[in-house]
Structure 1
Amino acid sequence: MSRPRASTRTAVVWEVMRDALERRAAATGRDVLEVLDTGGGTGNFSVPLARLGHRVTVVDPSPNALFALERRAAEAGVVDLVRGVQGDTHGLFEVVARGGFDAVLCHGVLEYVDDPADGLRNVVAALRPEGGVLSLLAAGLGGAVLARALAGHFTEARQALTSDDGRWGDGDPVPRRFTAEQLTDLVTGTGLGVVSVHGVRVFADLVPGALVDTEPDAQEALARLEAAAAELPAFHSVASRLHVLAEVGPR
């Protein structure tokens, strides 16, 4: 089965999601699941999920991203399984049905919403009342601190470490970062149960691209290293991204 593009950086998330959807399909007896991708943009995950046979609705505020999504779905031959609609988490149920999805992706969204707890509650409300799967991916605090420190920007690293939002300064393009504990607290606050937490891009963002591109088998070796470290809590604190998988039972 195919992985999303930039697989070294996303392989861990992809494998966790694919396994979760397989379990969900087995539990429901339905091979085709309804998946919602909030902030799904150009379809890095939604198009590969459609290629697995699932129906995916992508909600994104950017018309340009949705246009690129349509083009990518056409190239992959899954236009009939991918639907893009313009919107955001705040007005989510103006464009999709509440309680209508087997799985919801919330990737790169909580960093940008005004109220992460409220935004996540909205996303979770899109899951079917009888059960569903949440895939949550967000920027990690520790990875940003480590990256700024290794680049010699020690004051910025300290700013990120001590600020409430995890930002290293006014020029920081990311409005908010999280620790693993903060993300799991947000998830459990919605009533979902956390299944797993993974560190994503623990090493990939720190290794020079030229090294990965030129050394034989380096990319595959890096992917194996990322997979080995992803589940270890010690590496969650230095990951560039954090992934939380959660499930909901009968409500």
Structure 2
Amino acid sequence: MSDPLRPRASLRTAVVWEVLKDALDRRVKAVGQGPGEGDRAPGVLDVLDTGGGSGNFAVPVARLGHRVTVVDPSPNALFALERRAAEAGVADRVRGVQGDAADLFEVAERGGYDVVLCHGVLEYVDDPAEGLRNAAAALRPSGTLSVLAAGLGGAVLARALAGHFTEARQALADPAGRWGAGDPMPRRFTPEQLTGLIAAAGLEVGAVHGVRVFADLVPGVLVDTEPDALDALLQLEAAAAELPAFQSVATQLHVLAERN
């Protein structure tokens, strides 16, 4: 995935980025404009990006002036993060450390972050509930958690439209939402499953959005050749994102939650 601020990549990231940016703005106002905590300047948030890889969201967040710690198990991804942050001129606001969600507090501070991003993590960890508990524990009081995870409905719909009806049915029946042994995704979630896990971690669930409801189904050539098609599709994605009927068939699910 490319930088969410680049127009072509926005088909996959626009909904998440707009929701996240608004959440960061609200958190800045909640923290207040008084003296910062410790060495933190007023209006600057401490953000933890678990599984943040090469900085797809971390670098744009740092461009807004916030300090971002990225935790990822891949040395190659962290190297790419360092390079991307330097190219964006935010190397002083982005720190990458090697680690994973299960052992988060070996490399990150418990209760030390205003916002935690948990994007593309829960599909791969051995225990999603544990991963969410750790993410919640990393938050400061009233902090915000942003979760992005694979949606079951989108996968079922995609397999069915491709003519793989048996695989679509298998995904519906499988506890992990997988369509077969060749499925590269270890786990998928329904909106109810994902919000239930977040609530069980002691967080208050806020906005839920469906991501990539149409983007993965529309032929790329149509978007690239039809005038204004990209903008129209982006507007359609944004309009459908908050509607439960479309969340149930989205490729990804995005949830905002807060620590009480």
Q: Normalising TM by the smaller chain, what interval?
A: over 0.9
Question: Matches of 1:33 and 1:86 in 2, distance apart?
Answer: 21
Query: Among 101, 109, 124, which residue is 1:89 paired with?
Result: 101
TM-superposed CA distance for 1:9, in Å, is 1.1
Cα offset, 1:195, TM superposition = 1.1
Kindly provide the amino acid, as one letter, of the partner of residue 211 in structure 2.
V
Shift of 1:99: 0.5
- Alignment match, 1:98: 110
Taking structure 1 as the reference length, the TM-score comes to 0.97
2:146 corresponds to 1:132? no
Deviation, 1:4, is: 3.5
For these two proteins, the number of residue pairs brought into alignment is 247
Q: Give the CA deviation at 1:176.
A: 0.3
Offset from partner CA, 1:64-108 (integer Å, 9 cap, x none) = 101111111011000000000000001100001100000000000
Query: In the alignment, which residue of structure 1 is the partner of 2:44?
Result: 32
Q: Deviations over 1:115-149 (max 9, x none)?
A: 11111101111001x22000000000000000000
The one-letter amino acid of 2:26's match is R
1:24-63 aligned at under 5 Å gives the runs: 24-29=27-32, 30-63=42-75
The answer to whether the 8 Å contact 2:4/2:56 transfers is no
Q: Structure 2: which 5+ residue stretches go unaligned?
A: 33-41
Is residue 2:76 matched to residue 1:64? yes
Matches of 1:210 and 1:161 in 2, distance apart?
Answer: 30
Following the alignment from structure 1 to structure 2, what is the Cα–Cα distance between the partners of residues 3 and 154?
A: 33
Letter of the structure 1 residue corresponding to residue 19 of structure 2: V
Aligned position for 1:117: 129
1:157-236 equivalent positions in 2, closer than 5 A = 157-236=168-247
Q: Which residue of 2 aligns with 1:23?
A: 26
Deviations 1:11-35 (A, max 9, x none): 1111111111111110111410000
8 Å CA contact 1:137–1:241 kept in 2: the answer is: yes
TM-score calculated relative to the size of structure 2: 0.93
Structure 2 CA distance for aligned equivalents of residues 224 and 56 of structure 1:
29
Contact 1:4–1:48 (CA under 8 A) maintained in structure 2: yes
**Structure 1 equivalent of residue 36 of structure 2:** none
For structure 1, the residue ranges without an aligned partner over 5 or more in a row are none
SS of residue paired to 1:26: helix
The equivalent residue for 2:38 is none
Following the alignment from structure 1 to structure 2, what is the Cα–Cα distance between the partners of residues 246 and 4? 23
Q: RMSD over aligned Cα, in angstroms?
A: 1.0
Distance, in Å, in 2 between the alignment partners of 1:248 and 1:126 is 10
Shift of 1:47: 0.2
SS at match of 2:139: coil
Distance 1:88 1:191 in 2: 21
| Deviation, structure 1 residue 3 | 4.2
